[in-house]
Amino acid sequence: MSSNADKVMSRIKGKELRYYMSVFTQYITYSVDLVKLRLALTIKFINEIRKNVYIVQTMSKKLKYKESHRYDETYLYIYEAKYGIKEGYMRVEIRYNPNSEVASCTIECNPNKCFSFCDCLSDIGMLIKHSTSYYVHSMDIAMDIPTSMRNVEVRKDKRSFTRYCRKRGNETVYLGKRGKVNNVKVYDKQNESDLPYELTRVELKIGNPLGFNFMEFTKNALPQIYVRTPENYDEIIVNTSLSSTDRVLIMALRDHLNKVKLLHELDRKKTKKIQPYVLANTVKVDFDVEKIKEVAFRILNVLELENSVIIDDKYAVLH
């Protein structure tokens, strides 16, 4: 990568994007783009909500309430609270069945957009204090690379591979099932956030950082991402004994999104001959699983309540 990457990185660290407790390396910025919490709320707190819904409503001007499901007596409370900026929000769902001893609660929030506002963390803390236990169900780890999506190649692995193109030149690549732990999403962050500089975002959905074999599972879920470098390899091709047909084939494959797949559809002898030239201008991105762990535990520490203890992979709240 050229020195232009350093200039881009200086802008990334600046004003255009919000980062909360992120980790920077030379070319990649690690942050948590979404955190999903699961809580077991006390019945006492649920009864207080049922008597006075404004206990929850103080967190948001918008409250949705469904009386019950058709086949059981489950009550569902849903609300969204917005913090500071237009895109920053927290979504909370509380499900309560009178026959249960606790109520389930799910919180979804983007730390990059919300955690810098103290009222967001205090709202989450209020819910946690009224729970018996809680844990991180999943986190979306954002890994930002200072290059255009046009220069990025995502290679297929054992997971399902899906390309979604809303419009020409704005493609999103998915590895694995959307919304599931260990799935990957790669997209043009410059286009998505209307940034004045090139940026590609790789999102990896990790599981509970306190979970069994978290590091091993996360490492195995990292995608194979390659970035085209600006070096000019035309002279190298010209100065070889390759035939004109091979040269044309190399130049056509080099800019093709499915170059690896097409290479292996050629006969073995041809693949072996031209592969070094087709892949010569790509560099593999080395993601750091230790940095992912670091940024995940920074968020985990923010969410850790003083009167809580870790039991297995969950926090138990002491009352």
Same-domain check for residues 265 and 291: no
The answer to whether 21 and 302 are in contact (CB under 8 A) is yes
172-214 pLDDT, tens digit per residue, is: 999 998 888 999 999 999 888 888 888 999 999 999 999 989 9
Residues 239 and 304 grouped into a single domain: no
Among the listed residues 98, 82, 90, the one whose alpha carbon sits nearest the alpha carbon of residue 50? 98
Position 187 scores a pLDDT of 93
Q: Are residues 236 and 222 in the same domain?
A: no
Residues 265 and 293 in one domain: no
pLDDT of the residue at 64: 56
What's the structural domain count of the chain?
2
Same domain, yes or no, for 76 and 207?
yes
Q: Within the chain, what is the greatest distance between any pair of CA atoms?
A: 83
* Same domain, residue pair 265 and 143: no
Question: Given CA atoms 112, 113, 117, 123 in this order, what sign does their dihedral have?
Answer: negative
**Whether residue 223 sits in one domain with residue 109:** yes
pLDDT value of position 87: 66
How buried is residue 302: exposed, middle or buried, by Cβ count under 10 Å (0-12/13-18/19+)? middle
Q: What is the pLDDT along the chain (319 residues), one digit of tens a residue?
A: 444 444 444 444 434 688 999 998 878 999 999 999 999 998 888 888 767 666 665 655 554 555 555 566 777 777 777 777 666 788 888 888 878 888 899 999 999 988 888 888 888 998 999 999 999 999 999 999 988 888 888 988 889 998 887 766 678 999 998 888 999 999 999 888 888 888 999 999 999 999 989 999 999 999 999 887 755 445 445 445 678 888 788 878 876 767 777 877 888 888 878 777 776 667 889 999 999 999 999 999 999 988 889 888 899 988 7
Residues 272 and 215 grouped into a single domain: no
Residues 18 and 164 placed together within one structural domain of the fold = yes
Q: What is the pLDDT of residues 94-113, one digit of tens each?
A: 888 878 888 899 999 999 98
Check the CA dihedral 225-17-106-36 and report its sign: positive
115 and 52 in one domain?
A: yes
Instruction: Specify whether 44 is located in the same domain as 165.
Output: yes
Closest CA to 114 of 34, 50, 39, 193: 34
Domain that holds residue 276: 232-280
Per-residue confidence (pLDDT) for residue 232, from 0 to 100: 47
Of 28, 32, 67, nearest in space to 50 by CA: 67
3-state secondary structure of 111: helix
61 and 153 co-located in one domain: yes
Residue 260: closest CA among 173, 156, 106: 156
Exposed, middle or buried, 225 (CB in 10 Å: 0-12/13-18/19+)?
buried
C-beta of residue 209 within 8 angstroms of C-beta of residue 300: yes
Look up the pTM and report it.
0.77
The answer to whether the beta carbons of residues 145 and 30 sit under 8 Å apart is no
